[in-house]
């Protein structure tokens, strides 16, 4: 869905830049695939002239003033309209809120769930294979905490774009009632 937005903007001949916040190296397969998908969407729309930039996710605040909006996906949408997504989504949303930038979520309706996380501690962590980079040599007594997902509360989300339409976070519970009745 996120790439559909890029296609629409390209089709309307809007001049824009896609900035991808990413924690891993530029050789990460996920990052490479994301850039390829964005380029393909632009090419299909006949608009290959937009910039794709990659920034380390720890540097998001340094460029937020020149960003117009934030677009994230979601692994799950909670009943209160908050989202569970890959780690980093919450911090980007916090920064966007501080800069008065809208945060949009592109998500399929099948990811709406009857869950109600109250804090980051309520997010079930998916375990990923791997450890900290080899360059980080730490004493065995140091705990290595590596969450994989985080929870973004609804007050940091402007709109959710779904296959069923566009929703405010507050409208998610009503939509869940329709889906489950």
- Two tokens, residue 126: 């998916």
pLDDT, tens only, 77-98: 999 999 998 888 999 999 999 9
Tell me the pTM: 0.78
Q: Tell me, what's the pLDDT at 18?
A: 77
Residue 109 to residues 4, 49, 121, 145, 155, Cα–Cα distance (Å):
16, 32, 25, 31, 20
pLDDT, tens only, 116-173: 777 777 776 655 545 555 445 666 777 777 778 899 999 999 999 998 899 999 998 8
Q: Tell me, what's the pLDDT at 125?
A: 65
For residue 49, pLDDT beyond 90: no
Q: Are 69 and 5 in contact (CB under 8 A)?
A: no
For residue 48, pLDDT beyond 50: yes
Burial of 89 (0-12, 13-18, 19+ CB in 10 A): buried
Fold (CATH) for 69-128+142-181: Rossmann fold (3.40.50)
Please state the domain extents for the chain.
1-67, 69-128+142-181
In the chain, the percentage of residues whose pLDDT exceeds 70 is: 70
Chain mean pLDDT for the chain: 78
């Amino acid at each position: 869905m996120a790439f559909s937005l890029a296609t629409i903007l390209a089709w309307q001949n809007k001049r824009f830049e896609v900035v991808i916040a990413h924690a891993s190296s530029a050789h990460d397969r996920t990052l490479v695939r994301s850039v390829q998908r964005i380029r393909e969407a632009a090419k299909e729309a006949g608009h290959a002239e937009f910039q794709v930039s990659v920034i380390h996710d720890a540097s998001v605040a340094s460029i937020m003033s020149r960003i117009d909006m934030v677009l994230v996906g979601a692994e799950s949408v909670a009943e209160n309209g908050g989202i569970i997504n890959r780690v980093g989504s919450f911090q980007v949303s916090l920064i966007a809120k501080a800069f008065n930038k809208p945060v949009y979520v592109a998500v399929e309706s099948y990811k709406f769930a009857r869950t109600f996380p109250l804090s980051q501690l309520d997010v079930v962590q998916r375990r990923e294979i791997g450890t900290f980079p080899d360059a980080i040599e730490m004493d065995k007594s140091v705990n290595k905490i590596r969450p994989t997902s985080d929870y973004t509360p609804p007050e940091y989300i402007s709109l959710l774009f779904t296959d069923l339409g566009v929703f405010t976070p507050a409208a998610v519970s009503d939509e869940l009632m329709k889906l489950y009745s």
